[in-house]
Structure 1
Protein backbone atom coordinates (compact mmCIF):
# COMPACT_ATOMS: atom_id res chain seq x y z
CA UNK A 1 0.00 0.00 0.00
CA UNK A 2 1.20 3.49 -0.78
CA UNK A 3 1.63 5.58 2.35
CA UNK A 4 2.54 9.17 3.07
CA UNK A 5 6.10 9.88 4.15
CA UNK A 6 7.99 12.72 5.74
CA UNK A 7 9.91 15.54 4.07
CA UNK A 8 13.06 14.93 6.12
CA UNK A 9 16.34 14.79 4.15
CA UNK A 10 16.89 11.32 2.79
CA UNK A 11 13.21 10.39 3.16
CA UNK A 12 11.43 8.62 0.30
CA UNK A 13 9.54 11.82 -0.50
CA UNK A 14 12.77 13.83 -0.61
CA UNK A 15 14.34 11.23 -2.90
CA UNK A 16 11.33 11.32 -5.22
CA UNK A 17 11.49 15.11 -5.47
CA UNK A 18 15.27 15.23 -5.95
CA UNK A 19 16.06 16.79 -9.30
CA UNK A 20 12.39 17.52 -10.04
CA UNK A 21 12.94 21.22 -10.72
CA UNK A 22 15.89 20.55 -12.98
CA UNK A 23 13.94 17.98 -15.01
CA UNK A 24 11.10 20.47 -15.48
CA UNK A 25 13.61 23.11 -16.60
CA UNK A 26 15.27 20.71 -19.07
CA UNK A 27 11.91 19.65 -20.52
CA UNK A 28 10.93 23.32 -20.86
CA UNK A 29 14.19 24.26 -22.60
CA UNK A 30 13.95 21.23 -24.90
CA UNK A 31 10.58 22.53 -26.08
CA UNK A 32 11.91 26.02 -26.69
CA UNK A 33 9.80 27.61 -23.95
CA UNK A 34 10.84 30.35 -21.57
CA UNK A 35 9.52 30.38 -18.01
CA UNK A 36 6.79 32.87 -18.84
CA UNK A 37 5.49 30.75 -21.72
CA UNK A 38 5.42 27.56 -19.65
CA UNK A 39 3.77 29.33 -16.73
CA UNK A 40 1.07 30.66 -19.07
CA UNK A 41 0.46 27.22 -20.60
CA UNK A 42 0.20 25.65 -17.15
CA UNK A 43 -1.91 28.49 -15.70
CA UNK A 44 0.72 29.13 -13.00
CA UNK A 45 2.33 32.21 -11.54
CA UNK A 46 5.78 32.73 -13.09
CA UNK A 47 7.36 33.31 -9.68
CA UNK A 48 6.02 29.95 -8.48
CA UNK A 49 7.43 28.18 -11.54
CA UNK A 50 10.81 29.81 -10.95
CA UNK A 51 10.81 28.59 -7.34
CA UNK A 52 9.85 25.07 -8.44
CA UNK A 53 12.64 24.92 -11.02
CA UNK A 54 15.15 26.18 -8.47
CA UNK A 55 14.00 23.63 -5.89
CA UNK A 56 12.78 26.33 -3.50
CA UNK A 57 9.12 25.26 -3.67
CA UNK A 58 7.44 21.86 -3.46
CA UNK A 59 4.59 21.73 -6.00
CA UNK A 60 1.40 19.79 -5.34
CA UNK A 61 0.54 16.87 -7.61
CA UNK A 62 -2.20 19.03 -9.09
CA UNK A 63 0.37 21.66 -10.10
CA UNK A 64 2.63 18.92 -11.45
CA UNK A 65 -0.26 17.61 -13.54
CA UNK A 66 -0.69 21.09 -15.01
CA UNK A 67 3.02 21.26 -15.82
CA UNK A 68 3.03 17.77 -17.33
CA UNK A 69 0.13 18.69 -19.62
CA UNK A 70 1.83 21.95 -20.61
CA UNK A 71 5.03 20.04 -21.39
CA UNK A 72 3.11 17.29 -23.20
CA UNK A 73 4.48 14.47 -21.04
CA UNK A 74 2.98 12.00 -18.59
CA UNK A 75 2.97 13.04 -14.93
CA UNK A 76 5.30 10.18 -14.00
CA UNK A 77 7.89 11.44 -16.48
CA UNK A 78 8.55 14.47 -14.29
CA UNK A 79 10.03 12.10 -11.70
CA UNK A 80 12.45 10.23 -13.94
CA UNK A 81 15.25 11.11 -16.31
CA UNK A 82 13.92 8.45 -18.64
CA UNK A 83 17.40 7.24 -19.54
CA UNK A 84 17.80 3.59 -20.49
CA UNK A 85 19.00 1.57 -17.53
CA UNK A 86 20.51 -1.90 -17.21
CA UNK A 87 19.00 -4.93 -18.91
CA UNK A 88 17.18 -5.77 -15.67
CA UNK A 89 16.41 -3.57 -12.68
CA UNK A 90 14.80 -4.65 -9.42
CA UNK A 91 12.92 -2.20 -7.19
CA UNK A 92 12.05 -3.42 -3.70
CA UNK A 93 8.69 -2.25 -2.40
CA UNK A 94 10.12 -0.47 0.62
CA UNK A 95 12.68 1.37 -1.54
CA UNK A 96 10.27 3.02 -3.98
CA UNK A 97 10.01 6.78 -3.27
CA UNK A 98 6.50 8.13 -2.69
CA UNK A 99 5.08 11.60 -3.17
CA UNK A 100 1.86 12.15 -1.22
CA UNK A 101 0.07 15.52 -1.44
CA UNK A 102 -3.46 16.84 -1.70
CA UNK A 103 -5.06 13.44 -1.20
CA UNK A 104 -3.05 11.79 -3.98
CA UNK A 105 -0.03 9.51 -3.68
CA UNK A 106 2.34 8.58 -6.47
CA UNK A 107 5.09 5.96 -6.73
CA UNK A 108 7.17 5.93 -9.89
CA UNK A 109 8.04 2.29 -10.59
CA UNK A 110 10.39 2.99 -13.50
CA UNK A 111 12.84 5.65 -12.18
CA UNK A 112 15.29 4.70 -14.94
CA UNK A 113 13.37 3.11 -17.79
CA UNK A 114 14.72 -0.20 -19.02
CA UNK A 115 12.60 0.25 -22.16
CA UNK A 116 12.78 3.80 -23.58
CA UNK A 117 9.34 5.34 -23.91
CA UNK A 118 7.74 3.09 -21.28
CA UNK A 119 6.84 4.17 -17.75
CA UNK A 120 4.85 2.66 -14.91
CA UNK A 121 3.51 4.19 -11.71
CA UNK A 122 1.24 3.34 -8.79
CA UNK A 123 -1.34 5.88 -7.67
CA UNK A 124 -3.70 6.25 -4.75
CA UNK A 125 -6.43 8.87 -4.89
CA UNK A 126 -8.35 9.71 -1.73
CA UNK A 127 -12.15 9.99 -1.99
CA UNK A 128 -11.84 13.45 -0.42
CA UNK A 129 -9.49 14.61 -3.16
CA UNK A 130 -10.72 16.44 -6.23
CA UNK A 131 -8.61 13.98 -8.17
CA UNK A 132 -6.38 14.67 -11.12
CA UNK A 133 -7.62 17.55 -13.24
CA UNK A 134 -8.02 16.82 -16.98
CA UNK A 135 -4.63 16.02 -18.50
CA UNK A 136 -3.38 14.90 -21.90
CA UNK A 137 0.02 14.00 -23.32
CA UNK A 138 1.72 11.99 -26.04
CA UNK A 139 1.45 8.20 -26.11
CA UNK A 140 -0.99 5.64 -24.76
CA UNK A 141 -2.03 4.83 -21.19
CA UNK A 142 -3.23 1.64 -19.52
CA UNK A 143 -4.81 1.77 -16.05
CA UNK A 144 -5.43 -1.27 -13.83
CA UNK A 145 -7.41 -0.86 -10.60
CA UNK A 146 -6.02 -2.60 -7.52
CA UNK A 147 -8.71 -1.51 -5.05
CA UNK A 148 -11.56 0.94 -4.68
CA UNK A 149 -13.45 2.61 -7.52
CA UNK A 150 -11.65 4.74 -10.08
CA UNK A 151 -13.75 7.15 -12.13
CA UNK A 152 -12.26 8.19 -15.46
CA UNK A 153 -13.78 11.18 -17.26
CA UNK A 154 -12.89 11.50 -20.93
CA UNK A 155 -13.58 14.39 -23.26
CA UNK A 156 -16.64 12.46 -24.34
CA UNK A 157 -18.04 9.89 -21.94
CA UNK A 158 -16.84 8.42 -18.65
CA UNK A 159 -16.37 5.05 -16.97
CA UNK A 160 -16.03 3.71 -13.42
CA UNK A 161 -13.53 0.92 -12.82
CA UNK A 162 -13.39 -1.49 -9.87
CA UNK A 163 -10.70 -3.86 -8.63
CA UNK A 164 -9.53 -6.04 -11.50
CA UNK A 165 -10.88 -3.68 -14.19
CA UNK A 166 -8.63 -1.91 -16.66
CA UNK A 167 -8.85 0.66 -19.43
CA UNK A 168 -6.51 1.63 -22.24
CA UNK A 169 -6.70 4.78 -24.32
CA UNK A 170 -4.79 7.36 -26.30
CA UNK A 171 -3.28 9.79 -23.78
CA UNK A 172 -3.95 12.58 -26.29
CA UNK A 173 -7.58 12.39 -25.16
CA UNK A 174 -8.09 14.68 -22.12
CA UNK A 175 -8.82 12.53 -19.07
CA UNK A 176 -9.60 13.20 -15.40
CA UNK A 177 -9.22 10.65 -12.61
CA UNK A 178 -11.06 10.58 -9.26
CA UNK A 179 -12.13 8.11 -6.55
CA UNK A 180 -15.73 7.09 -5.89
CA UNK A 181 -17.46 5.09 -3.16
CA UNK A 182 -15.93 6.64 -0.04
CA UNK A 183 -12.67 4.66 -0.22
CA UNK A 184 -9.29 5.39 -1.85
CA UNK A 185 -8.79 4.20 -5.41
CA UNK A 186 -5.45 2.49 -5.93
CA UNK A 187 -4.31 1.69 -9.45
CA UNK A 188 -1.36 1.00 -11.69
CA UNK A 189 -0.70 3.28 -14.66
CA UNK A 190 1.49 2.13 -17.52
CA UNK A 191 2.22 4.47 -20.38
CA UNK A 192 4.10 4.15 -23.63
CA UNK A 193 5.31 6.71 -26.13
CA UNK A 194 6.10 5.37 -29.57
CA UNK A 195 9.63 6.31 -30.56
CA UNK A 196 10.61 6.83 -34.16
CA UNK A 197 13.13 4.41 -35.62
CA UNK A 198 16.27 5.69 -37.38
CA UNK A 199 14.33 5.38 -40.66
CA UNK A 200 11.50 7.49 -39.31
CA UNK A 201 9.23 4.47 -38.85
CA UNK A 202 7.31 3.70 -35.65
Structure 2
Protein backbone atom coordinates (compact mmCIF):
# COMPACT_ATOMS: atom_id res chain seq x y z
CA UNK A 1 0.00 0.00 0.00
CA UNK A 2 1.17 3.52 -0.65
CA UNK A 3 1.90 5.97 2.16
CA UNK A 4 -1.35 7.90 1.65
CA UNK A 5 -3.43 4.77 2.24
CA UNK A 6 -1.39 3.96 5.35
CA UNK A 7 -1.86 7.50 6.68
CA UNK A 8 -5.62 7.35 6.10
CA UNK A 9 -5.79 3.96 7.84
CA UNK A 10 -3.95 5.37 10.88
CA UNK A 11 -6.40 8.30 11.07
CA UNK A 12 -9.41 5.98 10.81
CA UNK A 13 -8.07 3.76 13.57
CA UNK A 14 -7.30 6.83 15.67
CA UNK A 15 -10.87 8.09 15.30
CA UNK A 16 -12.22 4.72 16.37
CA UNK A 17 -9.95 4.54 19.40
CA UNK A 18 -10.79 8.12 20.42
CA UNK A 19 -14.48 7.27 20.18
CA UNK A 20 -13.96 4.11 22.25
CA UNK A 21 -15.71 1.98 19.63
CA UNK A 22 -15.00 -1.61 18.61
CA UNK A 23 -14.15 -2.52 15.03
CA UNK A 24 -17.45 -4.42 14.77
CA UNK A 25 -19.49 -1.45 16.00
CA UNK A 26 -17.99 0.84 13.37
CA UNK A 27 -18.24 -1.78 10.61
CA UNK A 28 -21.92 -2.37 11.42
CA UNK A 29 -22.62 1.37 11.53
CA UNK A 30 -21.14 1.98 8.08
CA UNK A 31 -22.71 -1.13 6.58
CA UNK A 32 -19.77 -3.44 5.91
CA UNK A 33 -18.52 -6.62 7.55
CA UNK A 34 -15.83 -6.39 10.20
CA UNK A 35 -13.23 -8.28 8.11
CA UNK A 36 -13.56 -5.73 5.31
CA UNK A 37 -13.37 -2.87 7.82
CA UNK A 38 -10.19 -4.32 9.36
CA UNK A 39 -8.54 -4.48 5.93
CA UNK A 40 -9.16 -0.74 5.57
CA UNK A 41 -8.07 0.12 9.10
CA UNK A 42 -4.89 -1.96 8.73
CA UNK A 43 -4.06 -0.47 5.30
CA UNK A 44 -4.40 -3.86 3.61
CA UNK A 45 -6.84 -2.58 0.99
CA UNK A 46 -7.76 0.72 -0.69
CA UNK A 47 -10.74 2.40 0.91
CA UNK A 48 -13.55 3.32 -1.51
CA UNK A 49 -14.59 6.96 -1.45
CA UNK A 50 -18.11 5.91 -0.49
CA UNK A 51 -16.74 4.18 2.64
CA UNK A 52 -14.66 7.26 3.49
CA UNK A 53 -17.87 9.33 3.37
CA UNK A 54 -19.60 6.84 5.66
CA UNK A 55 -16.73 6.91 8.14
CA UNK A 56 -16.59 10.71 8.10
CA UNK A 57 -20.33 10.88 8.66
CA UNK A 58 -20.16 8.33 11.48
CA UNK A 59 -17.50 10.31 13.36
CA UNK A 60 -19.01 13.70 12.41
CA UNK A 61 -15.77 14.90 10.82
CA UNK A 62 -15.06 16.33 7.41
CA UNK A 63 -13.70 13.83 4.90
CA UNK A 64 -10.76 16.22 4.35
CA UNK A 65 -9.66 15.46 7.92
CA UNK A 66 -9.54 11.74 7.16
CA UNK A 67 -7.68 12.30 3.88
CA UNK A 68 -5.16 14.90 5.06
CA UNK A 69 -5.16 14.94 8.86
CA UNK A 70 -6.16 18.61 8.89
CA UNK A 71 -9.58 20.15 9.02
CA UNK A 72 -10.87 22.60 6.44
CA UNK A 73 -11.00 26.16 7.74
CA UNK A 74 -13.05 28.10 5.21
CA UNK A 75 -16.72 28.68 5.91
CA UNK A 76 -17.94 31.18 3.32
CA UNK A 77 -15.75 30.81 0.23
CA UNK A 78 -13.32 28.20 -1.06
CA UNK A 79 -11.30 29.04 -4.17
CA UNK A 80 -9.24 26.26 -5.75
CA UNK A 81 -7.00 27.02 -8.74
CA UNK A 82 -6.87 24.63 -11.68
CA UNK A 83 -4.81 21.56 -10.82
CA UNK A 84 -4.66 22.41 -7.10
CA UNK A 85 -7.55 20.26 -5.91
CA UNK A 86 -6.87 17.59 -3.30
CA UNK A 87 -5.93 14.36 -5.09
CA UNK A 88 -7.95 11.42 -3.79
CA UNK A 89 -6.28 8.29 -5.16
CA UNK A 90 -8.59 5.46 -4.22
CA UNK A 91 -8.90 3.27 -7.32
CA UNK A 92 -6.77 2.62 -10.40
CA UNK A 93 -9.87 3.13 -12.55
CA UNK A 94 -10.62 6.65 -11.30
CA UNK A 95 -8.50 9.69 -10.49
CA UNK A 96 -10.40 11.99 -8.13
CA UNK A 97 -9.59 15.62 -7.37
CA UNK A 98 -11.63 17.25 -4.60
CA UNK A 99 -12.58 20.75 -5.73
CA UNK A 100 -13.91 22.08 -2.41
CA UNK A 101 -11.71 20.36 0.18
CA UNK A 102 -10.92 23.66 1.94
CA UNK A 103 -14.58 24.37 2.72
CA UNK A 104 -15.79 23.27 6.15
CA UNK A 105 -19.10 21.43 6.64
CA UNK A 106 -19.78 20.84 2.94
CA UNK A 107 -23.24 19.64 1.97
CA UNK A 108 -22.02 18.56 -1.49
CA UNK A 109 -18.74 17.04 -2.66
CA UNK A 110 -17.63 18.31 -6.09
CA UNK A 111 -14.94 16.15 -7.68
CA UNK A 112 -13.06 16.26 -10.95
CA UNK A 113 -12.76 12.66 -12.14
CA UNK A 114 -10.56 11.15 -14.83
CA UNK A 115 -11.41 7.71 -16.16
CA UNK A 116 -8.67 5.34 -17.24
CA UNK A 117 -9.74 3.46 -20.39
CA UNK A 118 -7.54 0.49 -19.44
CA UNK A 119 -9.54 -0.38 -16.33
CA UNK A 120 -13.14 -1.26 -15.64
CA UNK A 121 -14.33 -0.37 -12.13
CA UNK A 122 -16.85 -2.33 -10.12
CA UNK A 123 -20.34 -1.04 -9.43
CA UNK A 124 -20.55 1.14 -6.31
CA UNK A 125 -23.36 2.74 -4.37
CA UNK A 126 -23.48 5.36 -1.64
CA UNK A 127 -25.96 7.58 0.15
CA UNK A 128 -27.33 10.67 -1.49
CA UNK A 129 -27.66 11.79 -5.06
CA UNK A 130 -25.06 12.34 -7.75
CA UNK A 131 -24.64 14.67 -10.69
CA UNK A 132 -22.17 13.91 -13.55
CA UNK A 133 -21.15 16.45 -16.20
CA UNK A 134 -18.90 15.19 -19.02
CA UNK A 135 -16.00 17.52 -19.84
CA UNK A 136 -13.75 15.50 -22.17
CA UNK A 137 -13.87 12.23 -24.05
CA UNK A 138 -16.73 9.80 -24.29
CA UNK A 139 -17.98 7.81 -21.32
CA UNK A 140 -20.59 5.28 -20.37
CA UNK A 141 -22.47 5.50 -17.10
CA UNK A 142 -24.13 2.31 -15.93
CA UNK A 143 -26.83 2.71 -13.27
CA UNK A 144 -28.46 -0.52 -12.26
CA UNK A 145 -29.64 -2.08 -15.54
CA UNK A 146 -29.60 1.19 -17.48
CA UNK A 147 -26.73 2.60 -19.53
CA UNK A 148 -26.06 6.14 -20.75
CA UNK A 149 -23.44 7.35 -23.23
CA UNK A 150 -22.11 10.79 -22.35
CA UNK A 151 -20.07 13.22 -24.44
CA UNK A 152 -18.78 16.70 -23.54
CA UNK A 153 -21.65 18.88 -22.36
CA UNK A 154 -23.94 15.99 -21.38
CA UNK A 155 -25.15 15.70 -17.80
CA UNK A 156 -26.78 13.03 -15.68
CA UNK A 157 -28.42 13.24 -12.24
CA UNK A 158 -29.29 10.08 -10.33
CA UNK A 159 -29.98 8.34 -7.05
CA UNK A 160 -26.52 7.17 -5.98
CA UNK A 161 -27.88 4.39 -3.78
CA UNK A 162 -28.38 2.54 -7.07
CA UNK A 163 -25.28 0.53 -8.09
CA UNK A 164 -23.36 2.56 -10.67
CA UNK A 165 -20.04 3.02 -12.46
CA UNK A 166 -18.48 5.16 -15.17
CA UNK A 167 -16.33 3.85 -18.02
CA UNK A 168 -14.11 5.63 -20.55
CA UNK A 169 -14.95 4.69 -24.15
CA UNK A 170 -13.05 4.55 -27.44
CA UNK A 171 -9.78 3.62 -25.68
CA UNK A 172 -9.24 7.22 -24.53
CA UNK A 173 -9.43 8.82 -21.07
CA UNK A 174 -12.57 10.76 -20.17
CA UNK A 175 -13.00 13.58 -17.66
CA UNK A 176 -16.11 14.59 -15.83
CA UNK A 177 -17.23 16.60 -12.85
CA UNK A 178 -19.30 14.79 -10.30
CA UNK A 179 -21.18 16.50 -7.52
CA UNK A 180 -22.32 14.25 -4.72
CA UNK A 181 -25.03 15.40 -2.35
CA UNK A 182 -23.91 14.27 1.08
TM-score by length of 2: 0.70
Q: C-alpha offsets along residues 135-184 of structure 1, whole Å, 9 cap, x if unaligned?
A: 22222110001111221111131111111111001112221222111101
Q: Give yes or no for the alignment of 1:107 onto 2:91.
A: no
CA–CA distance in 2 between the matches of 1:42 and 1:162?
A: 38
Residue aligning to 1:190: 179
Decide which of 37, 48, 51 is 2:42's aligned counterpart.
Answer: 51
* 1:65–1:135 CA contact under 8 A, matched in 2: no
TM-score by length of 1: 0.64
* 1:88–1:114 CA contact under 8 A, matched in 2: no
Decide which of 114, 117, 122 is 2:107's aligned counterpart.
Answer: 117
- Report 1:161-172 matches (<5 A): 161-172=150-161
CA–CA distance in 2 between the matches of 1:86 and 1:72?
A: 18
Unaligned runs of 5+ in 1: 1-6, 9-13, 194-202
* 2:115–2:173 CA contact under 8 A, matched in 1: yes
Computed over aligned residues only, the root mean square deviation of the Cα atoms, in angstroms, reads 3.8
Q: Give yes or no for the alignment of 1:80 onto 2:64.
A: yes
Decide which of 29, 32, 43 is 1:41's aligned counterpart.
Answer: 32
Residue aligning to 2:68: none
Residue aligning to 2:78: 89
Q: C-alpha offsets along residues 78-135 of structure 1, whole Å, 9 cap, x if unaligned?
A: 842486723112112243232445242110111133663111000101110112x222
Give the direction of change, closer, same or farther, for the CA distance of 1:139–1:99 in structure 2 (3 Å limit): closer
Unaligned runs of 5+ in 2: 66-70
CA–CA distance in 2 between the matches of 1:44 and 1:161?
A: 37
